[in-house]
Structure 1
């Protein structure tokens, strides 16, 4: 079996475990307290919540599988397949919420699966480098950093759906950065723990993971999940894929005849992902305590 095929299987396994973790985290973020609390206080309360930790342990298995997948395949391939976590979250959340999956949800799920299949096969994503230079990452920070800071500052001023969208984008973008950093961290594992401990990406990677988790929970609490979840779900693969191309030099090679098909597939993936995430968020909001 080729490395790309193994990476695809590992990415699908990661999507399953991350989906289970997300379902648990969504419920915990709304049930941990009825009070209005700050982002920091919310994260602190969740750290004392057993259900949240169970979701985190399950998600950690998913992140480990994601790291293994990134060690064998490109960020473009892995991030495209991780979007299928929504396909797993759909029946899981329906089961937990004791509801039936609607026909429209199954239709969007089928379209999402088809779009991902087209992107992986027609797009023919190829690997680039595992790590990037300090100059390249400095440029990323100078471009992405101010954007995320502005989102956080504005989110503290506005309320409701607008705040949830902004915080959701911050979380999704950080998880996209996390995926790219993960590839560099995994690459250094072959050189031993001492070499890994001297790798700057390791410490940035840990901080980005904490930030992504904190803003994810804050986004869930800021307003309706119909605003936060679709934003996060779309932002992560988009930011991760763009960084995979810009930072690591990865590429899509669909050929001249395949570019139109690829563009259509990406558009369908984004729309279907947002539609499914919105459906999951509506259910979670309905189940959340008033």
Structure 2
């Protein structure tokens, strides 16, 4: 694995976690703006912008995107996206620091399980090789399949409720995130050709459109139910699907044979850690000393 890829992917996860925590902190502690009209809604949305911490979070978002682009430009999709799963543990640790909430033993255990599972999977799978671009035929096949999967997940989500809906929508969001990352990787391959090569490629516009769709699905997911329902499906779904896209689109390879057993153990440990972290978040996020100023 390329050291630059690993470092920048982790920095992307850390930056995005910083953004979430800082913007949450900037939004906390305000008295509710009365009223239900458009003016009251706009006031509620603009209030956090008066705090320097919100702008710090916005800067961190830009840094996260930049680090992800560098990571995808320098390494395999099947390495970068699994590493971004570390965002959740960074979010909880930074949240505990910012909101003066001492991390519990359960948090540390979940932290260790996620980190160890991620390391075990990446070392066992040893993603490598591949090209920076893919053929139009492969992209067409991927687009048709992913659109079909996404449509099916939406139809299911409209028919279920509660935790199950959150899980289904988390899976749908994972599809969008993985597709966006794959498209970004394709765009980075055109950087050497300059602005003209990038702007005349359909991939950059598809990446922008799917990225926007990802944000919309994420908001729908967050409103549908608890994080314990959505986050494992989102985090693990993004990682697993990105590996599949890396193999099919870019010819990346992972170790098989006896390596499959430790890979599955690593994924299981990651799942346990993600579930533990989201459960801890669900228990603590309502506590005044965790996420309120």
TM over 0.5: yes
1:263 corresponds to 2:264: yes
Q: Distance in 2 between matches of 1:96 and 1:198?
A: 44
1:25–1:206 CA distance, 2 compared to 1 (3 A) = farther
Counterparts of residues 275-290 of structure 1 (less than 5 Å): 275-284=276-285
Q: 3-state DSSP class of the match of 2:2?
A: helix
Would you say the 8 A contact 2:73–2:185 is kept in 1? yes
1:281–1:207 CA distance, 2 compared to 1 (3 A) = farther
Q: Which range moved further: 113-122 or 149-158?
A: 149-158
1:137–1:49 CA distance, 2 compared to 1 (3 A) = farther
Q: Which range moved further: 127-136 or 152-161?
A: 152-161
User: Unmatched 5+ residue regions in structure 1?
Assistant: none
1:154–1:53 CA distance, 2 compared to 1 (3 A) = farther
Counterparts of residues 152-171 of structure 1 (less than 5 Å): 152-171=154-173
How many residues matched? 282
Would you say the 8 A contact 2:113–2:272 is kept in 1? no
Match of 2:184 in 1: 182
- After superposition, the CA RMSD in angstroms is 3.3
Q: Which range moved further: 194-203 or 151-160?
A: 151-160
Match of 1:18 in 2: 16
Q: For 2:250, which of 240, 243, 248 is the aligned residue? A: 248
Match of 2:219 in 1: 217
Would you say the 8 A contact 2:71–2:80 is kept in 1? yes
Cα distance, 1:164 vs. partner?
A: 2.4
TM-superposition CA deviations, 1:263-286 (whole Å, max 9, x none): 211221222223223322443355
Cα distance, 1:26 vs. partner?
A: 6.6
Cα distance, 1:25 vs. partner?
A: 6.2
Q: Distance in 2 between matches of 1:245 and 1:114?
A: 24
Q: 3-state DSSP class of the match of 2:253?
A: coil
Q: For 1:234, which of 224, 233, 236 is the aligned residue? A: 236
Would you say the 8 A contact 1:17–1:61 is kept in 2? yes
Counterparts of residues 1-290 of structure 1 (less than 5 Å): 4-23=2-21, 55-253=57-255, 256-284=257-285
Would you say the 8 A contact 1:111–1:272 is kept in 2? yes
Q: TM-score, normalised by structure 2?
A: 0.82
Would you say the 8 A contact 1:229–1:278 is kept in 2? no
Q: Which range moved further: 81-90 or 65-74?
A: 81-90
Cα distance, 1:184 vs. partner?
A: 0.8
Cα distance, 1:22 vs. partner?
A: 3.4
User: Unmatched 5+ residue regions in structure 2?
Assistant: none
Q: Distance in 2 between matches of 1:189 and 1:197?
A: 10
Cα distance, 1:116 vs. partner?
A: 1.8
TM-superposition CA deviations, 1:205-249 (whole Å, max 9, x none): 011111111211221122223323333222221221221112221
Q: Distance in 2 between matches of 1:79 and 1:260?
A: 21
1:124–1:148 CA distance, 2 compared to 1 (3 A) = same
Max radius of gyration: which structure?
Answer: 2
